[in-house]
Amino acid sequence: MSYQIIIGQQKHIAQLRDIEKAAASLFSDEDVPPANKEKTTPLRTLEKAQQQGRLWVVLDHSEVVGFAYVTEREGQIHLNEINMHPDHGQKGLGTRLMKTIMQWAKEREYQSITLTTFIHLP
């Protein structure tokens, strides 16, 4: 498998919902209720991130297998979401994706990247 991380393109957006749902399936029903596992990021939000150059995708050849997007909050970058399809997990791709975003932020002289997560998960 040959993986590549690139800035997301409009043509990639339609594939992201399936990745989001597949990644959510890894959580137990106790950790994330089943109804929440079906929720996905609105397409308009992903389109806006893509238009601003703040959406990255992980490609396995031409297939999107992961993605992340950021927004700016109070002059800093916030990681809104990062997802990897479980079939491509545990290969260091999430780390590579984060390093790509960190380099992007550094080149733009952002001082930090924030994120939020579930408080009850390790």
Mean pLDDT value of segment 64-93: 94
CB 47 within 8 A of CB 69: no
Question: What's residue 1's pLDDT?
Answer: 58
How many whole angstroms separate alpha carbon 84 and alpha carbon 16? 10
pLDDT at 122: 61
Q: Tell me the pLDDT tens digit for each residue of 24-77.
A: 888 777 777 777 777 889 999 999 999 999 999 999 998 999 999 999 988 899
Mean pLDDT of the chain: 91
**CATH H-level superfamily of 3-115:** Gcn5-related N-acetyltransferase (GNAT) (3.40.630.30)
The share of the chain scoring above pLDDT 90, in percent, equals 73
Q: How far is it, in rounded angstroms, from Cα 22 to Cα 38?
A: 9
This prediction's pTM: 0.90
pLDDT score of 90 more than 80: yes
